[in-house]
Amino acid sequence: MDNYEYLKSKIKDICENYKDNPTGGWITGDGPIPANVMFIGEAPGKTEIEEGKPFVGVAGKTFEGYLNLLGLSRKDIRITNTCFFRPIKLTLGKTGKTTVSNRTPKISEVNLFKDILDEEISLVNPKIIITLGNVPLKRLSNFKSIGECHGKLIYNEALKRYIFPMYHPSALTYNRNDEFKSMYDNDWMRLKNTLNNELKI
């Protein structure tokens, strides 16, 4: 078994043995190994579990649109998550019907995959890691919130890698105003400049 197959089998093992909170399936990362550019999201949702790949639902479509604007496509980049299972919340409605929704992964759940994500980063060996949202940001840096550092290139001494924090693409759905949209667009343009001119990737 090669290193990546071994990593996949460890993900499967952790996900299938986790019983502390409800979860709804699991996936691995997607895209080439090695890769110069690596994106790290939070956790898969319903569509990702159905299709077996990260970022293929609504947020994924937004993400891919911006990626294409940079002249990149999914085959050029590695994309993965901080938590590999879908964290879910079950709510019992008045009619007795249970509804399933996504929830943010708990710190203990993120920690289950600490070694796995570190190992995936080593195998991918990216020149830059773009964190999407607060969950991967907190996992890979000491920042407390994306609002402090989005759109800036940061060298992470502990990791010995560049990281570029961005808002999660689903933030566009929650912040439906022109000001947020232009700030988000601007962060992608800064990323383009970083890739092309600063790091020359």
14: β partners: none
Nearer to ligand URA, 85 or 162 (CB): 85
Q: Considering only the C-alpha atoms of the chain, give the largest distance between any 2 of them, rounded to a whole number of Å.
A: 58
Position of minimal CB gap to ligand URA: 41
Residue 120 near ligand URA by CB under 6 A? no
Sheet holding 154-156, edge to edge: 78-81, 37-41, 128-132, 161-166, 154-156
Q: Rule CB under 6 A: choose which of 7, 31, 39, 45 binds ligand URA.
A: 45
Residues 132 to 161: which contact ligand URA by CB under 6 A?
Answer: none
Round to whole Å and give the CA distance between 51 and 109.
Answer: 22
Instruction: Please calculate the CA angle 120-131-76 and round it to the nearest 5 degrees.
Output: 65
Question: Count residues contacting ligand URA (CB under 6 A)?
Answer: 12
Q: How far is CA 110 from the centre of its chain?
A: 12
Q: Rule CB under 6 A: choose which of 31, 41, 126, 165 binds ligand URA.
A: 41
Buried b (16+ CB within 10 A) or exposed e, 26-44: bbbbbbeeebbbbbbbbbb
DSSP string, 179-199: HHHHHHHHHHHHHHHIIIIIS
Nearer to ligand URA, 83 or 195 (CB): 83
Stretch of 6-14, 48-56, 144-152, 187-195 contacting ligand URA, by CB under 6 A: 48-56
Residues 50 to 109: which contact ligand URA by CB under 6 A?
Answer: 54-55, 57, 59-60, 81
177: β partners: none
Nearer to ligand URA, 55 or 167 (CB): 55
Minimum Å distance from CB 78 to ligand URA?
13
Minimum Å distance from CB 135 to ligand URA?
7
**Is 158:142 a contact under the CB 8 Å cutoff?**
no
Residue 131 near ligand URA by CB under 6 A? no
Nearer to ligand URA, 21 or 199 (CB): 21
Nearer to ligand URA, 12 or 198 (CB): 12
User: Interface residues with ligand URA (CB under 6 A)?
Assistant: 41-45, 48, 54-55, 57, 59-60, 81
